[in-house]
Structure 1
Amino acid sequence: MTDLNDPTAINPSVLTPVHPDIERYLTTLAGSTDTPVLVEMEELARQQNFPIVGRLVGLFLKVLAKSIGAKRVFEFGSGYGYSAYWFAEAVGPDGRVICSDGDPNNLSKAEHFLGQAGLWDRVDFRTGFAQTVFQATEGEFDICYNDVDKGDYPEVWRLARERIRPGGLYIADNVLWHGRVAAENPVDIVPGWTDAIREHNRLIFNDPEFDAFINPTRDGVVVARRK
């Protein structure tokens, strides 16, 4: 199986946004957030080659959510709840993280992990196609977080942007796509995905209703604040 987190397995010429030594230093600092549940979730990702955002991006998500007092978060693509762990910590006991994932097995895994962490009562985990789940969910959100298949990124942005409250955030992972977005002739894991991410990023930065910035940590995280 192709390792989506190892770009050199596909194309050794892709770019590394942040020097590995810097990443290691930052990860060392983040080690102070160790909990048994996080360690178990990260080990599962390593064993099963499952793409999670990892500790550095997880902390970043938590800080962003707390900085705007987020209480209602929607996740497009939740896996087994790793990113939801960080959002659930941030929203507090009266907040809600609505998760969506197409794999029913991830629901039971998320309940196991987030239950152990004492966070399951803050999560509403819905199985199904993320965009369909979102369209069936009413109301505005403090944060919409996007981590679905990369070819769907432009569609998710178009759906989410209207449902983010003023001052709220749109966040998406993998927006540098292991440097492929900057490569002249990138080798795609799935044909069209790099072009879809480029379009997604272009749409966000050209939208007059949002201020945007890309944090190059790990694989690039875009944060767009609705004005």
Structure 2
Amino acid sequence: MLAGHFTTALIAKQKFPKGILLYFLIISQLQDILWFTFHYLGLEPTDPSDAFDATLSNMAVDMLYSHDLAPLLFWLAIAFVIGKLLFKSTQIGLVSMVLVFVHFVLDFFSGHMHHLFGAGTMEAGLGLYASSTYLAILIEAIFSIGALWYFFRGEAKKGIIRTTKNKVSIISVFAYGIIFMSLIATRSFRELLSIPEFDLGFNTNMPTLIFTYAVMLYCLNYFVPKYKVA
């Protein structure tokens, strides 16, 4: 899941205003940030290497350390310590743990296959990106719509006023994520656009993913705080 994780950060900030939105956005994507890091450390290599060849259904990676169930216990503890130390709040530490755990739950239903600890151990996910890609995207879209509805409804109850333009901007960030995934669900950009084989040295898959996450994070951190209180 890509866009859906960010919705949990918006709700966390709404319910626990002592925290910082940027922090919640980052911690909601902790496992994916770890995945990017472990990819470059050679611990979780991700294929295909070329962004133009990649689809959700053919992306192959064993997320042993970043996403599997056993390491999750360690990342939950780390999230608690970071939240508690940064904000001097046990509550924010616990919320951080919840965001990391919810990331795992959402990936269970809409994401790559995860395991207890390694590909040969008990499966801890449905693996719908590979087996039923469009169903995985539909699950993410439904979750994102529901979470955004809950978020905007909660703001209205608190007397928070947003312009239509601002709401559209926030929703568009999530729509972009869903549309992007739909475009490359089972057909690569090379296939869709008849792109010839070439190597410019920067068309690799992982930098493209990191750029997508960074843009979404930046846009949400920019648009979400722009509101007025009645």
- Shared fold, TM over 0.5: no
Q: Return the structure number with greater helix share.
A: 2
Structure number with greater Rg is 2
TM-score (norm 2): 0.27
- Flag the structure with more relative contact order, 1 or 2, with Cα contacts below 8 A and sequence separation at least 6: 2
Q: Return the structure number with greater strand share.
A: 1
